[in-house]
């Protein structure tokens, strides 16, 4: 099993345990698009308590990658995903975080 496959398995298991309703194939696409960042412990997760990190998620992922317009809806969606993944969950994996945001805005075709 490759390191990428191991990460996809880890994220899929985490998604199942959190009842996120994400398909393994979609998790695999999002994970693959993240590149080598998934192998860096700090970059692999999103900290919902770090305002600057959430701003980076908004600017670099929602606006640049998904092509969304800056609005309060983006902040609301990020907050919703933080709540969905659970405040006590220390491992808010970026791949799952991005997958949930992508589904929230119906932009799955970005990964087609």
pLDDT in tens, 7-26: 999 999 999 999 999 999 99
pLDDT at 13: 97
Over residues 22-78, the pLDDT tens digits come to 999 999 999 999 999 999 999 999 999 999 999 999 999 999 999 999 999 999 999
Please provide the DSSP assignment of 93-112 as one string: BHHHHHHHHHHHTT-GGGG-
* Distance separating alpha carbons of residues 5 and 11, to the nearest angstrom: 10
DSSP letter assigned to residue 63: I
pLDDT at 61: 98
Q: Where along the chain do its domains lie? A: 3-111
Q: Which two tokens stand for residue 7?
A: 């990460």
Evaluate if residue 112 carries a pLDDT over 90.
no
pLDDT at 1: 87
Evaluate if residue 87 carries a pLDDT over 90.
no
Q: Rounded to 5 degrees, what are φ and ψ at 93?
A: -65, 135
- CATH superfamily of domain region 3-111: Jann4075-like (1.10.238.120)
């Amino acid at each position: 099993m490759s390191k990428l496959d191991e990460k996809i398995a880890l994220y899929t298991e985490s998604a199942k345990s959190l009842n996120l309703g994400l398909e393994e194939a979609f998790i695999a696409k999002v994970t693959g698009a993240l590149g080598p960042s998934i192998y860096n412990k700090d970059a692999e997760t999103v900290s919902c308590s770090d305002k600057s990190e959430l701003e980076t998620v908004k600017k670099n992922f929602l606006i640049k990658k998904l092509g969304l317009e800056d609005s309060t809806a983006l902040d609301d969606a990020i907050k919703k995903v933080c709540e969905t993944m659970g405040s006590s969950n220390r491992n808010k994996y970026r791949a799952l975080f991005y997958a949930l945001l992508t589904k929230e805005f119906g932009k799955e075709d970005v990964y087609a």
